[in-house]
């Protein structure tokens, strides 16, 4: 069984490395989630358990890759950014792309029961992924601004659409027609006048999406601080966020924060978790 | 919320398309499966349920992509080949790579209970993936020969190693030393003399790996033949296999086979499955 | 002068290798040759000296790269094909592309006086270049068929256009209008009726372009056959050409031909030429 | 002559675009210039006419591409940098690479007689080219520092080597042995003690290479300032150079300078030059 005779086929592999000193963004997107959420009867316009499941799958990605120090997601998508200076897998694009996506995908299924204890997963969903490089901090911030602006636009629309369908009894086609071409202001008014909804009072997780940041906390009995991942639902377009978390753009050490001030966090090192 | 102001970041995405008229192979590999199989107490050297789970996850990939007409796997790896003429996702490399890997990863977790009804999945495993292009049929055949020759080399070694450890009580280090540099013939003899194992009588799924081919069968009550995926454990290095399944290299229509002659198959179109 | 401090910048270079076992085609194109031929008062529609200069510059490329065994050009473009099995520069795309183009460009200027002894070169022209991979022999043949079909279409048009302008006194705009949308048959008739030109009797170098093939000839006093490059002006779309020069697709040894049967050839090894 | 039947081969071309918002550096290198300079009897260690010819060929590149605002060369290499924001050829890598290299190559031959009026060009030399992206200004400066540090190291060595060979009569092998492993200080001393050469008094063009910058000057009778290219032989490692020419990193408008203060410059728009 002359292995060597066939081994030449290895040299058809082509390496594709991410340009050095650029931020590496991986964005994953649910494949055909319209159908997935329908079959699994997700709440409309937003299913809080579905969103938290997405975030927890993303947390698993951050647990695996310590060089990711920021992630942002909403609906069926999540973006992860690796430090500019990362040398993970020698910056090989295929490796980075496939592993981020695989951890996310398998975690989504693995964690299903935690968020939907009474709902059976009918089939395993899939996510596609792409990799994008950003040379400057401003490009990176603009990327996240783009994604968060998208949350706003989509969620305002969806809030209107589903109110019209679920509360006013319009057909999807009628709801779509009614909303076509309307400005934000008109949508806000429609919600207020017809459904007594003040859009700005809607939960921030729906309006802003979920940001994951990495911090350290001290731990009773632990000899050294532990790394944790914190979900936030805040604006990431303005300077505030970036000034409050300077370690993200600085690529500096993960800062220590006061555990008592945290509502909610995920510990990085779980027993048996580390692959 | 000026979406347009940020949208320029889209144009940093770079398209990477697979050269036309080449076979597109995607190979997935388990990440750190040494540890995964240890924690989940897989049988050594081969866990039949683990192998069948891998194959079923691979079947789900074939269910999704009708342009894959051959897959081959063993241990914690699986290779899929798209027809040379496929135009799936416009041959965009990232899309193909990430979706094949995502479906495999999420299916592995989703199907766990089917193959390990009495064993809890402790954490979600990850798989990496790479994409390789082969311009000719001979290159493609050599690729699969390379992978199957690898099964032979690894499985013979592992069969010896675990016999020495589990049956003879050697430490892993001792077993490794004993096998270092030995030829195939010596390993065969070691198995026969010490453990009464005739290697050639070991199950073919262990010695040959698993091949997935696509066929059609006629179906009672169905108006047209249905596509099925058939797992085989046969030699794919010699001409026999390729002569028996000419549609693979021809890229011709999936042939109709007699359902009664099949031991085992997976139906492609499952209710609620299609994404 | 700490060289090492800066040397990290080397690692920003990205290697781009041509997929193995594919034909590597480099096509060069004159940049803005409309203007170049106008300023240098080239004959219209075809300048025989200009065409021969192009071919001789292409010959210099073949002299340098023994792995190119076919080239084809017309007007201000030339295509070169490297053997599928070449390992030149480790198949690095940038190296191959830039050197083929550089030799062609510098040779064009160097050889100017040989073909235009009484005409001064007013400025140095430029050529762009692209690299394209073809996995199969059929794809490669179709590439050359595409280029030669282009010669036919363009040369028939140009022959009509310049006859109308130079012999009938039409303005370029009028000539263009007269030809717009006409079929080949109408163009042939126009030439015949108005200008007594039977298009099929036009010189083959104008109608077919120039093919360069590599052969060996025996040489008086030489101990071994010498490599020569032969310009042909023949059809390369039909099978004849490929059957007569089987070494091109076979990638076999350069065949020996009878020197006496050759009208014209270029010897490969020139004194002082080899770089 | 069914053109359309073959035209599918166009779609095998693969676009490779330079990542946006990165500096695009093209570096060209003489192919086998050791031999070229020997055959053409260049002065050793430096031939002032050869260096000026290289610079003038580089000037022609800058004349063609207004988005190049800095170039640096020495010996048989030259580097060109396109503005980060350039959109030339839609940032297609092949186009940029091949045209820069082609203009340089054809200009080198075209300009030969201007710098070597009494020396015939024996063959057309070739240059290879590569393209490298730098995301930040610091990376770009470090690139040019790397190249200029290289000039220093090489020129000091070559000055010693050729003094030993030409003035002291050592063979090349002896000279090489004598210099192996010596520090800069030892080389400086060797030049001073044996040849009465103070290395720091050697011409700056030899010790520093040639920098090309773009400026504007006002012109008698001209209605608007004209673009010129100025060769400098100065340090580009320290801040001084970059502070004196802030428009390079700023990508701002080409500044107006006083013509009277310039020793030497090349006008950009030459009659008949523009391609």
**What digits encode the pLDDT tens for the residues B133-182?**
999 999 999 999 999 999 999 999 999 999 999 999 999 999 999 999 99
For B:224-263, CB contacts with A below 8 A are 237
User: Are the beta carbons of D83 and D137 closer than 8 angstroms?
Assistant: no
SS (H, E, C) A151-176: HHHHHHHHHHHHHHHHHCCCCHHHHH
pLDDT at A275 over 90: no
Would you say B234 and B210 are in contact if contact means Cβ atoms under 8 Å apart?
Answer: no
A12 contacts chain C (CB < 8 A): yes
For the sheet containing B68-74, what is the strand order? B127-134, B23-30, B77-82, B68-74, B210-217, B226-232, B266-267
Chain B residues with CB-CB distance to A22 below 8 A: none
| Range B140-164 burial, b when 16+ CB lie within 10 A, else e | bbbbbbbbbbbbbeebbbbbbbbbb
Nearest residue of B to residue D92, measured between CA atoms: B14
| D18: nearest CA partner in chain A | A19
Q: Is B11 on the interface with A (CB under 8 A)?
A: no
Chain segment B195-250, per-residue pLDDT in tens: 999 999 999 999 999 999 999 998 777 778 889 999 999 999 999 999 999 999 99
pLDDT one-digit tens code per residue, C179-235: 999 999 999 999 999 999 999 999 999 999 999 999 999 877 777 888 999 999 999
Quickly list H helices, chain B.
3-6, 33-39, 48-64, 93-110, 112-115, 137-162, 172-179, 184-195, 204-208, 239-244, 247-250
Q: Is D194 annotated as a binding residue?
A: no
pLDDT in tens, D205-243: 999 999 999 999 987 777 788 899 999 999 999 999 999
Q: Rounded CA gap, C107 and C173, in Å? A: 36
Binding site residue list of A for Mg(2+): 29-30, 76
Q: Which of residues 20-39 of D touch B (CB under 8 A)?
A: 20-21
**pLDDT tens-digit series, residues A206-222:** 999 999 999 999 877 77
In this model, does residue D273 exceed pLDDT 70?
A: no
Give C-chain residues touching D126 at CB under 8 angstroms.
64, 99, 102-103, 106, 275
Peptide bond into D154 cis (omega under 30): no
Annotated binding residue at D32? yes
Residue C88 C-alpha, separation from nearest chain A C-alpha, in angstroms: 15
Min distance D208 CA to chain B CA atoms (Å)? 37
Q: Is C126 on the interface with D (CB under 8 A)?
A: yes
A neighbour chains, 3+ CB pairs within 8 Å: B, C, D
Judge whether C2 is closer than 8 Å to chain D, CB to CB: yes
Please report the pLDDT score of residue A219 as a whole number.
Answer: 75
Residue C243 reports pLDDT greater than 50: yes
Burial label, A221 (beta-carbon count in 10 A; 0-12, 13-18, 19+): exposed
Measured from the Cβ of residue D146, the count of other Cβ atoms closer than 10 Å reads 19
Confidence of residue A271 (pLDDT cuts 50, 70, 90): very low
* Chain A environment of C135 (Cβ under 8 Å): none
SS3 category, A180: coil
Segment A22-46 mean pLDDT? 97
Q: Which residues have C-beta within 8 Å of that of residue B224, sequence separation ≥ 6?
A: none
In this complex, which of A12, A17, A21 lies closest to C14 when CB atoms are compared? A17
| Residue with tokens 């990085």, as numbered in its chain | A268
For residue C106, the chain D residue with the least C-alpha distance is D106
Contact state of B125 with A133 under an 8 Å Cβ cutoff: no
Give the integer Cα–Cα distance in Å for B254 and B166.
Answer: 45
Is B154 in the C-facing interface, judged by CB distances under 8 Å? no
From the centroid of its chain, how far is CA C48?
14
Tell me what pLDDT residue C3 has: 60
CA distance linking residue D21 with residue D1, whole number of Å: 45
pLDDT of C275 reads 39
Contact list, A11 vs chain C (CB under 8 Å):
20
pTM for the whole structure: 0.95
**Is B128 in contact with A99 (CB distance < 8 Å)?**
yes
pLDDT exceeds 60 at position D2 = no
B121 Cα to chain C: minimum distance (Å): 41
Contacts of D253 (CB under 8 A, 6+ apart): D247
Average pLDDT over residues A165-194: 95
Q: Do A123 and B110 make contact, defined as CB atoms within 8 angstroms?
A: yes
Interchain CB contact of A9 with C (< 8 Å): no
What are the φ/ψ torsions at residue A113 (nearest 5 degrees)?
-65, -30
pLDDT at B3: 59
In this prediction, residue D124 has a pLDDT band, given cuts at 50, 70 and 90, of very high
What are φ and ψ of residue C189, in 5° steps?
Answer: -65, -45
Q: What is the pLDDT of residues D143-152, one digit of tens each?
A: 999 999 999 9
Asked if residue D266 belongs to a known ligand binding site, the reply is: no
Say yes or no to pLDDT of A1 above 80: no
CA distance C76 to chain A (A): 34
Of D1, D8, D131, the CB nearest to C149: D1
Does the CB of D17 have a partner CB in chain B at under 8 Å?
yes
Cβ–Cβ below 8 Å for A21 and D139: yes
Chains A and B form CB pairs within 8 A to the count of 190
Q: Is C30 annotated as a binding residue?
A: yes
Cβ-based contacts of B97 with chain A (< 8 Å): 94, 97-98
CB contacts < 8 A (A, C) = 13
Tens-digit pLDDT profile for residues A38-66: 999 999 999 999 999 999 999 999 999 99
- CA–CA separation, D3 vs C184, rounded Å? 12
B34 labelled ligand-binding: yes
| Cβ neighbours of D32 in C, within 8 Å | 275
Average model confidence (pLDDT) across chain C? 94
pLDDT at residue A171 tops 70: yes
Structure tokens at D273: 């030059």
Q: How far apart (Å, rounded) are the C-alpha atoms in residues A153 and A150?
A: 5
State the ipTM, two decimals.
0.94
Using CB atoms, which residue from B11, B17, B21 is nearest to D20?
B11
């Amino acid at each position: 069984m002359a292995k060597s005779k066939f081994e030449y086929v290895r040299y058809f592999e082509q390496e594709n490395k991410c340009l050095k000193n650029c931020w590496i963004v991986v964005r994953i997107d649910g494949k055909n989630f319209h159908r997935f959420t329908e079959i699994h009867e997700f709440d409309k316009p937003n299913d809080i358990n579905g969103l938290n499941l997405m975030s927890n799958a993303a947390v698993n990605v951050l647990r695996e890759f310590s060089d990711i120090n920021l992630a942002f997601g909403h609906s069926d998508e999540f973006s992860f950014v690796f430090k500019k200076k990362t040398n993970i897998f020698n910056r090989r694009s295929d490796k980075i792309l496939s592993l981020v996506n695989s951890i996310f995908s398998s975690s989504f299924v693995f964690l299903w029961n935690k968020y939907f204890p009474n709902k059976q997963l009918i089939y395993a969903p899939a996510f596609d992924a792409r990799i994008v490089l950003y040379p400057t901090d401003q490009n990176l911030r603009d990327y996240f601004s783009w994604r968060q602006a998208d949350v706003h636009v989509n969620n305002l629309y969806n809030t209107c659409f589903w109110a019209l369908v679920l509360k006013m009894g319009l057909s999807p086609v009628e709801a779509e027609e009614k909303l076509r071409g309307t400005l934000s202001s008109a949508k806000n008014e429609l919600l207020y006048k017809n459904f007594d909804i003040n859009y700005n009072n809607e939960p921030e997780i729906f309006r802003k999406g979920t940001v994951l940041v990495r911090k350290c906390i001290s731990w009773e009995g632990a000899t050294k601080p532990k790394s944790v991942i914190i979900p936030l639902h805040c604006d990431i377009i303005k300077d505030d966020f970036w000034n409050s978390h300077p370690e993200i753009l600085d690529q500096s050490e993960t800062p220590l924060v006061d555990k008592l001030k945290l509502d909610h966090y995920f510990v990085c090192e779980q027993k048996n978790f580390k692959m």
